[in-house]
Structure 1
Amino acid sequence: MSMQYPNRTFAGISAAAILNLEYSWNLNRNGTIFLAAPSGNSKRVHGNIQRIVMRHPPICNAVHYRINKQFHTAIADPALISIGDIETTLPGNAVITNIMPVTSPARTLVDCGLRYPFVYAMALFDSALRQGIVTREQILEVCDSLQKDCGPVLRLLYYANPLNENGGESFCYGIILDEGFAVPELQHVFASPTGNIRVDFVWHTEDGRVIVLEFDGTDKYVNPTMTNKRSIRQVVHDERQREDYLKQAGVTTIIRTNYKEVEQRNPLVRKLFEANVPMARAHPYYERRTDATGRIW
């Protein structure tokens, strides 16, 4: 579409995909392509194309390029028109594969933050901050320029953390917060006889407990680049030894979860309750209304 209509500017989740931000592909399930438009309405205009109306859309060029067999994404100033000018901003051995106009990273995040639930938008914000393509101040500037309630974006901005290493961890982090648990510390390091051990999430409670939550992706058991050619049995053995070292370092409880449990929510929430992870607020499921005498309704 970009090649056929080079003047169209991609926006929303379409711009996020072009900018190589991480998010759940469930957000693409209806196949909608979002475009920035200076006027009109925000309804579907043709088939799976939908406008996001903005009078003066902040535009940048998303440049996809290849170095050897590795693909990369860069953001180029829209003032750089020719490919030659853009090439001067890239590494010398870069081969440009395509250039597409998109809304700025800040505007893209604001549009996505207003459209999608907190737990799904978290990965977008985390990955943008992790890649260093946007600042919190730039996102706030976009919010200030809009005549909209940007409360959902401000909440995302408050909790977004680039220390989440991938979209799965961001999703898990978002569920933890959305369910009312205390904000965990991310990528905490414990010392062990074999070197430092870094964990995904940790809580240090007021009563002296140390609770660790590890988010496990299936890749750690089957992807050769992550298993370092170890067998599944060896990977499992190493994980058990890792847990032993963590307990020696003072960890009192270790919770393991995966994407399926996080997506279903209840399995993860049950594990967090069973481990007595601190809450930031009372959980609605456990609240009961009482009358003036204290009797439960």
Structure 2
Amino acid sequence: MLTQAEQRRTFAKAERPGDRHLLDRRLGAGELVMPVKGRYIRKPLWDSLSYGDRIAYRLRTICREHPDWVLSGVSAAAIHRYTSSMYLQRYVHIAVTDPHQTGKRGLVVAHYTPDLQVVVVDGIRVTSPEQTMFDCARTLDFPTAMSICTMGLRATGNPAASLQDYCAAQRRKRGLPRARFVAEHVDPMCTNGGEAVSLAVSLELGFAQPQCQRQFISPIDGGAIYADFTWTRDDGSLVVGELDGREKYVNPAMTGGDDVVAVTLREKDRETEINMLNIPVVRFQMVHVRNRTPFEQRLVAAQVPRPNLGKRTPFTGYVCTEY
């Protein structure tokens, strides 16, 4: 059973009481893991999986038991690989075309989707990329919606205008103003979800929309250097914002195989080159962004323009209950 499940990239399920007893015994011995009640996987395999793959295993297992289901919202976003955040996956979100089937039943939330657009991704039926981004934009909180839509646009290679056009064509949908607000401000130039969240939080704090991944020319060797965020102050001068995430220092895909010291020194060299252009750099971390106050203090001290302080948005007072 375990081998067959691994070939399907799903969890194993005991069909007979005797099998359940054997699996539970191996679970108690530490050989197996039970990510979902009554569903098992070998511990070495589970430990080797990324967060995105762990989510996919869980959803693939559920959809194999319910082959007529179509995943939507954050569940579809996980299969599309627009997010790998485990905390978003408390519930399984599905789309239904019958309004009488909507509602929450245990860990399953059914959403009425009359204009359902279905695609198959890695063997799983999910809503289309555009519909998935739209549903996330209108139902999630602003930072999470911005992160998913940013990665969705990057994955599809589409510009923000494509999402804007899709949202503009929708009528009488719950949360439509929120979706249009996300589409208006999302920037696929953000290279990862952390940058997208930082952008969203800065906008919620009333700061001006920055230019993402602006290119500068190095005064040392004439090469191209890129800044995460660039704002133009009221006096016309520039200020650069740089997000220091742990991943850029430890993820081999981002470090180019270099160690932490080499990556850190390269970052310092890049900051020096920007400073030599007479452009100050304000650095911040995700802990600052999540806590907001340290992030706000840094941007205020850097004299980042704040034209929207106190202005209401479609997300003002909105409480997300999707996860």
Taking structure 1 as the reference length, the TM-score comes to 0.75
Quote the offset at 1:225 in angstroms. Answer: 4.0
Letter in 2 for 1:19: H
Classify 1:180/1:232 alpha carbon distance in 2 versus 1 (closer, same or farther; 3 Å): same
Note the residue ranges of structure 2 that are not aligned, 5 or more in a row. 1-61, 312-323
Classify 1:209/1:137 alpha carbon distance in 2 versus 1 (closer, same or farther; 3 Å): closer
Match of 2:76 among 11, 15, 27: 15
Classify 1:142/1:26 alpha carbon distance in 2 versus 1 (closer, same or farther; 3 Å): farther
- 2:91 corresponding residue in structure 1: 32
CA-atom RMSD in angstroms: 2.1
Q: Does 1:227 align with 2:255?
A: yes
Q: Does 1:216 align with 2:244?
A: yes
Letter in 1 for 2:144: Y
- 1:105 corresponding residue in structure 2: 129
Q: Are the counterparts in 1 of residues 95 and 111 from structure 2 also a CA contact under 8 Å?
A: yes
Q: Does 1:264 align with 2:291?
A: yes
Q: Are the counterparts in 2 of residues 164 and 170 from structure 1 also a CA contact under 8 Å?
A: yes
Match of 1:44 among 104, 107, 111: 104
- 1:289 corresponding residue in structure 2: none
Q: Are the counterparts in 2 of residues 11 and 108 from structure 1 also a CA contact under 8 Å?
A: yes
- 2:272 corresponding residue in structure 1: 244
Q: Are the counterparts in 2 of residues 23 and 121 from structure 1 also a CA contact under 8 Å?
A: no
Quote the offset at 1:249 in angstroms. Answer: 1.6
Greater Cα offset, 216-225 or 193-202: 216-225
Letter in 1 for 2:250: V
Q: Are the counterparts in 2 of residues 106 and 142 from structure 1 also a CA contact under 8 Å?
A: no
- 1:73 corresponding residue in structure 2: none
Classify 1:41/1:2 alpha carbon distance in 2 versus 1 (closer, same or farther; 3 Å): closer
Residues in 1 aligned to 2:165 and 2:307: alpha-carbon distance in whole angstroms: 29
The structure richer in helix per residue is: 2
Tell me the number of residue pairs that the alignment of Structure 1 and Structure 2 aligns. 244
Secondary structure at the aligned position of 2:235 is classed as coil
Q: Are the counterparts in 2 of residues 105 and 133 from structure 1 also a CA contact under 8 Å?
A: no
Alignment of 1:1-297 (within 5 A): 1-22=62-83, 24-28=85-89, 31-39=90-98, 40=100, 42-45=102-105, 47-62=106-121, 64=122, 99-132=123-156, 135-136=162-163, 139-140=166-167, 143-144=170-171, 146-192=172-218, 193-194=220-221, 195-251=223-279, 253-283=280-310
Q: Are the counterparts in 2 of residues 10 and 102 from structure 1 also a CA contact under 8 Å?
A: yes
The structure richer in strand per residue is: 1
Greater Cα offset, 131-140 or 118-127: 131-140
Tell me the percent identity. 27
Classify 1:44/1:227 alpha carbon distance in 2 versus 1 (closer, same or farther; 3 Å): same
Residues in 2 aligned to 1:137 and 1:226: alpha-carbon distance in whole angstroms: 30
Deviations 1:20-49 (A, max 9, x none): 113644322xx200111122254212x211
Quote the offset at 1:138 in angstroms. Answer: 5.6
Classify 1:270/1:57 alpha carbon distance in 2 versus 1 (closer, same or farther; 3 Å): same
Letter in 1 for 2:104: R
Quote the offset at 1:277 in angstroms. Answer: 0.5
Quote the offset at 1:133 in angstroms. Answer: 6.5
- 2:320 corresponding residue in structure 1: none
Taking structure 2 as the reference length, the TM-score comes to 0.70
Residues in 1 aligned to 2:285 and 2:210: alpha-carbon distance in whole angstroms: 17
Q: Are the counterparts in 2 of residues 44 and 51 from structure 1 also a CA contact under 8 Å?
A: yes
Letter in 2 for 1:184: P
